[in-house]
Amino acid sequence: MKKQKLFKMSVLVYIQTLEGKATKAGLEVASFANKMNAGDVTALVAGSLSGDGELGSVGVSKVLHFSESATDNSQLSKLTHAAANSVNASTILFSGNIEGSSVAPRVAIAMNSGYVAGVTCLPEGKGFTRNVYSGKATALVNVNSEVCVISITPNSFGIKLDECESAVESFSAEIGSQRVVINGFTPTSTDGSVPLPEAERVVSAGRGLKGPENWGIVEDLASALGATTACSRPVGDMGWRPHHEHVGQTGVTIRPDLYIACGISGAIQHLAGVNQSKVIVVINTDPEAPFFKAADYGIVGDVFDVLPKITEAIKEL
Ligand code: FAD
């Protein structure tokens, strides 16, 4: 049966790669593009690419490969703009991670197009659904410009396998010289765990841990679960943990399958970054802690007793 397109258009999707392969966020946004415009998706990759970067597995029929590295927002937006013109793209998609959120609006301005950030599901007609008010409500945004740039909230759509032949073509464009290098532009983590924005399981801790010397119990649970560690803002501000682990309104927004909050009160600013997680588990000594209202599972207890027991139980499993 012929696959159906939701829109009659040409779709370009910008893909981040790591060691030559599309990142998880890249495969997710490519899956989204494929569901919008079945079988007619062009991906743009800058830097290292091995084969088709596994993009054929999610229905990308053509990959434009810019072999030089472009790590500056301004270079990446010029590159995407040039690629969008070359395939006459009417929709340009980015993952709404740190890089995508920085580059997408620049492309929208350069192309004088509509821009919708933080889209969470496939469009209805020309309307895109996005979360507003820290995920408490959704808005349907109609785009009436000819060209539209959108970014997809990471972990909102998932990876949808749809094997196809993917043709790789080299692509060149004049993007000028690099002006700024942003550390952490490529999604990496220092301890070899999955980078926080891409993690499916996250163990996060707050001031209830009392001090940085106690983080061993958090790391043990994270390692037993294959999870990434995160923290509340004061923990980052006090230097107990590195700033890139801080989640919330002013930190990283995440949407993992499992979020375990240990000794975190659940202030609105913290919840803003984590309340879209699929399953939330809260461990807190205070039964009145606001986090319990957002929890799927709650344990009223002391993290110093509870965490080692959970870790032991998971190891036994
Ligand atoms: P606390 O509020 O001190 O809570 C500690 C919790 O641990 C308490 O609930 C306590 O009952 C529990 N506890 C204590 N001992 C134990 C134990 N032994 N076992 C189990 N539980 C225990 N915060 C963020 O996290 N992210 C943000 O992005 C963010 N942005 C902000 C932006 C603005 C503009 C402002 C004003 C604030 C922001 N904050 C943010 C701060 C936020 O308001 C809270 O102050 C912060 O989240 C509290 O961190 P916490 O839960 O770790 O600490």
Distance CA 30, CA 53 (A): 12
Q: Which residues contact 128 (CB under 8 A, 6 or more apart)?
A: 116, 119, 140, 141, 143, 150
pTM score of the predicted model: 0.74
Q: Are 138 and 116 in contact (CB under 8 A)?
A: no
Q: Is the CB–ligand 1 distance for residue 249 below 6 Å?
A: yes
pLDDT at 108: 97
The kind and range of the H/E element at 316 are: helix 303-316
More confident residue, 110 or 124: 110
Centre of ligand 1 to C-alpha 235, Å, is 8
Which residue carries 């060209």 as its tokens? 147
pLDDT at 70: 66
**What is the maximum span of the chain, computed from C-alpha positions, in angstroms?**
60
Beta strands 127-132 and 114-124, pairing class: antiparallel
Q: Are 28 and 95 in contact (CB under 8 A)?
A: yes
Residue 224 pLDDT > 50: yes
Residue 6 pLDDT > 80: no
Probe residue for ligand 1, chosen from 202, 218, 233 as the CB with the greatest number of ligand atoms within 8 Å: 233
Which residue carries 């995160």 as its tokens? 230
pLDDT at 98: 82
Q: Are 214 and 224 in contact (CB under 8 A)?
A: no
What rounded mean pLDDT belongs to the chain? 90
pLDDT at 11: 94
Residue 156 pLDDT > 90: no
pLDDT at 40: 85
Q: Are 134 and 30 in contact (CB under 8 A)?
A: no
Q: Are 60 and 169 in contact (CB under 8 A)?
A: no
**3-state DSSP helix/strand/coil % of the chain, to nearest 5:** 30, 30, 40
The kind and range of the H/E element at 300 are: strand 297-300
pLDDT tens-digit series, residues 172-192: 998 877 655 544 444 445 566
Q: Is the CB–ligand 1 distance for residue 267 below 6 Å?
A: yes
Which range (5-9, 189-193, 196-200, 216-220) has the least confidence? 5-9
Q: Is the CB–ligand 1 distance for residue 270 below 6 Å?
A: yes
* Ligand 1 atom index nearest CA of 266: 51
pLDDT tens-digit series, residues 79-99: 999 999 999 999 999 999 888
Distance CA 23, CA 111 (A): 26
pLDDT at 179: 58
Which range (182-191, 218-227, 300-309) has the least confidence? 182-191
Backbone angles phi, psi at 300, to 5 degrees: -85, 110
pLDDT at 178: 61
Side-chain half-sphere exposure of 97, counting CA atoms within 13 A: 24
pLDDT at 214: 98
Q: Is the CB–ligand 1 distance for residue 289 below 6 Å?
A: yes
pLDDT at 2: 45
Q: Which residues contact 140 (CB under 8 A, 6 or more apart)?
A: 124, 127, 128, 129
In Å, what is the CA distance from 268 to each residue of 40, 219, 250, 265, 274? Answer: 42, 25, 11, 9, 10
Q: Is the CB–ligand 1 distance for residue 68 below 6 Å?
A: no
* Ligand 1 atom index nearest CA of 264: 51
